[in-house]
Chains A and B, each alone.
Chain A
Amino acid sequence: MFSKNTTWAIGGGILFAILLSLLGWFLFIRGQNNDLTRASAGRGFGTNIPIFDNANGGSTNQNIRDALLSGFGIFSRDSNEPDAEIENALPRLWNPSSVPVAGITLIGTSTDAKIQFVERPSGNIFEAYLKDGDVTRISNTLVPNVYRAFWGKDTRLVLQHLDENGEIATLIGSIEKMSTSTEESVGEFSGSYLEPDIVSVATSRERNDIFYIVKTIHGSVGIQINPENATQKRIFTSHVFGWRSVVVNGGTILLFQNPSQGIEGNAFLLKNNGDKTILKNNVRGLIASISRNEAHTLYNEIVQGRISLFSKIEDAPERQLSLTTLAEKCVFNPKNTSVVYCAVPRAIPEAQIPDAWYRGEIHFSDDWWIIDTENGTVEQLLSPESDYGITLDVVDPYINEEGTHIVFIDAKTRTPWVLRVVQ
């Protein structure tokens, strides 16, 4: 019916049309992918999302490598440390991850000392030994948007995130190795949820007990649970909800009201049996901290923009310290509790402090100082801004039992940092 030429022409035309369609589809898909890539990058994808190359790797390792390549090397193992003998040592100020975290802690002693941190986007848990600094993911269980993390005894962890209603959800559990796993394999965070609306959590690395304050219709209730034997007891009640709780030692919890500039605050020491004694009462802008042996207290009075820091050693008269900082930026040297390490703002912005700081509206650039509260002398330990050209606003500092390292979070970026105290 058709000539051979006609058949070839029609066939060629169809083939050409198909190829043209495929080319158009390819170009369309590529364009869409580019849009998606740009949109994803705008949301922070690619830089902050873990990219799981293998079981032990992850975004954090990649971030460290990126940091090395991007001039961030002063915080890497290749940093120019003055002590040539510390060949494998980490830099004195180390940023183990550029991903925001929910918390960081120090575990173990001496050569087994390591850090653990929880990535905020994924809830994945990472650790790194201080002897080599290799960051390893130890849990790949997805817990999105983790805002706070608290470490208990052994591998127990408490994670807090927001549920679909924007309410605080609190997950308690521990890291369990896969049954078929090897020593290096990734574990799984397994746990269960506590009641909603837990506004404060305090954990102890020495005891199984975990303390938390939960909102109820009758006020706030402080509950101490022991996950080991599944017991719980109510040891605190209050009509107000805004409490900060910190484990001082195995038997005592420091409680103080959420502070505000010029507003009276009260601080208490709560025993495991529910006995409560007042530590400071009716102090305006009160922020309190106490040493593990309960002998040394640091506290702030903040009135009309003036931040005063006081030290009290047992029954001795109080002493106003010469440095201006918030007591929650300080940690006591566990070997000598009269020695305190404080992150001290280089300058205090004109703002309602601490309120504006808690709202994330202002940030400080802190230097680390050593304070001897026995005689009030101070000495600068390290200045991130002067020494390294970076600004760090310290929150949640924690010092290890040996007093050799302090971990903290930078409030502005929520990234984790490790400071070696000794030179």
Chain B
Amino acid sequence: MPYVARAQLALPEIASPISFIVTPNNPGPEEKVTVRIESYSIDLDRATIDWFVNGRLFDRGNGLKTIDIETGRIGTETTVSVVVRPDAITEIFEQIAIRPMYVSILWEADTYTPPFYQGRALPSSNADILVEAYQYMTYPNGSVIPDDDFVFTWKKNGAILRDISGRGRTKARIAGPLLFGEDIISVEVVSVDNRYKGESRVRIAAVEPHISLYTDDPLLGIMFHRALLETDQIPIADITLAAIPFYMSIKNLLDRNISYEWNVNGQTIPTDPRDPFRIILRLSEGLIANALVSLSISHVDHFLQSTNASWSLLLSSAIGAPQRDPFFRSTN
């Protein structure tokens, strides 16, 4: 029976005693949704309740306050209606329309990762975050609704970010979480005619910066594909090492906002300001020796982005007796 035939209600709409709770609040297309009704004036547990989805009877029962449905494709509208009979003479009708839309938050940190790195740039303490809201919704005729027809309301930990919110405001730069902290960034997307509504949220946690150490081969370049392990062996006597700091708020490895402090076998190595992320270890002929290499990287503006790491590297050129400190060190 089409619900339209039941649209003549016993109670006026302005005083409807029935309210709908949809979970999730702003569902996407083809997504499972729980629809529940509540009332402060009617004992729903004792009422007979008929549920209709898109005009067709979906379920019926005494005290049946909840149904699970799946939303349609993008651009479709799913109408959910209930007829509640708390007694033999009263009949209450209420209806909602669910119009699913895609809303996603695309984000990455404005932090350094090396060329050709295929992972996400993550935020270390207080690094800037680049966020972008993606919405996809169509009119009933199939045409895509442009971003400028939506109002984007950005929130950080529940507080509205008014400076970056507004009509068509899909993109923003926001300050990220502090060390060990996390922020919940959300965006609510509502069409200017209030007909379509969607929401998305992401949890962004701060990470510690990370240093990876690579061989810098004169022919192959920096061997990004094979980082040196914390304990590693290097079967050559002359090696250039390149340290790559991940997730720091810098533009490149020569950024003046960071400083490198190298140490090899307890001795501080002065860095070449033109090439501070590299160091050369050179072993005398016929020796095997262990190099305990440590590196501290500090950020001038973001003290909490400082980090350090160490590696125990066994260099060997030929068989020979290890000496106390056989390394010749250079910084290019």
Which residues of A line the B interface, CB within 8 A?
A: 38-39, 41-45, 48-49, 100, 120-121, 144-145, 147-148, 160-162, 165-168, 219, 238-242, 244, 257-260, 263-266, 277-278, 281-282, 354-355, 358-361, 363, 411-412, 414
The one of A45, A162, A278, A359 that contacts B246, using a Cβ cutoff of 8 Å: A359
A contact residues around B188 at 8 Å (CB): none
B contact residues around A412 at 8 Å (CB): 225-226
Q: A239-B171, A240-B108 are in contact. Are A257 and B238 (CB under 8 A)?
A: no
Closest-by-CB residue of A relative to B286 is A38
Docked complex Cα distance between A87 and B182 (Å): 63
Distance in angstroms from A283 CB to nearest chain B CB is 10
Q: Size band of the B side of the interface?
A: 35 or more
Asked if A281 and B225 make an inter-chain contact with CB atoms under 8 angstroms apart, the answer reads no
Asked if B118 and A244 make an inter-chain contact with CB atoms under 8 angstroms apart, the answer reads yes
Distance in angstroms from B73 CB to nearest chain A CB is 10
Asked if B218 and A43 make an inter-chain contact with CB atoms under 8 angstroms apart, the answer reads yes
> Which one of B40-48, B54-62, B84-92, B128-136 contacts A?
B128-136
Asked if B238 and A278 make an inter-chain contact with CB atoms under 8 angstroms apart, the answer reads no
Closest-by-CB residue of A relative to B131 is A239
Asked if A166 and B252 make an inter-chain contact with CB atoms under 8 angstroms apart, the answer reads yes
Q: A166-B253, A167-B115, A358-B117 are in contact. Are A277 and B136 (CB under 8 A)?
A: yes
Which residues of B line the A interface, CB within 8 A?
A: 28, 102, 104-108, 113, 115-122, 130-132, 134, 136, 170-172, 200, 202, 210, 212, 214, 217-221, 223-227, 229, 236-239, 246, 252-253, 285, 317
Q: A360-B224, A361-B227 are in contact. Are A259 and B104 (CB under 8 A)?
A: no
The 3 A-B residue pairs whose C-beta atoms are closest, nearest first, are A42-B236, A260-B120, A239-B132
A-B contact sample (13 more), CB < 8 A, given A240-B132, A278-B136 = A48-B220, A121-B220, A145-B221, A160-B116, A162-B221, A166-B252, A239-B171, A241-B130, A258-B117, A258-B119, A282-B105, A282-B202, A354-B119
Docked complex Cα distance between A24 and B218 (Å): 32
The one of B116, B132, B171, B237 that contacts A147, using a Cβ cutoff of 8 Å: B116
A contact residues around B105 at 8 Å (CB): 264, 282
Closest-by-CB residue of B relative to A146 is B221
**Count of inter-chain pairs, beta carbons less than 8 A:** 143
Closest-by-CB residue of A relative to B224 is A360
Q: A43-B217, A44-B217 are in contact. Are A282 and B104 (CB under 8 A)?
A: yes
Closest-by-CB residue of A relative to B221 is A145
Asked if A38 and B121 make an inter-chain contact with CB atoms under 8 angstroms apart, the answer reads no
In the assembled complex, 26 residue pairs joining A and B whose CB atoms fall closer than 8 Å, in A order, are A42-B237, A44-B220, A44-B236, A48-B219, A48-B220, A121-B219, A121-B220, A144-B219, A147-B116, A165-B252, A239-B132, A239-B171, A259-B120, A265-B120, A266-B104, A266-B134, A281-B104, A282-B104, A282-B202, A354-B118, A359-B210, A359-B224, A360-B226, A361-B227, A412-B225, A412-B226
Q: A42-B317, A145-B220 are in contact. Are A355 and B119 (CB under 8 A)?
A: yes
Docked complex Cα distance between A38 and B28 (Å): 64
Distance in angstroms from A140 CB to nearest chain B CB is 16
Distance in angstroms from A347 CB to nearest chain B CB is 17
Closest-by-CB residue of B relative to A277 is B136
Docked complex Cα distance between A148 and B117 (Å): 12
Distance in angstroms from A117 CB to nearest chain B CB is 15
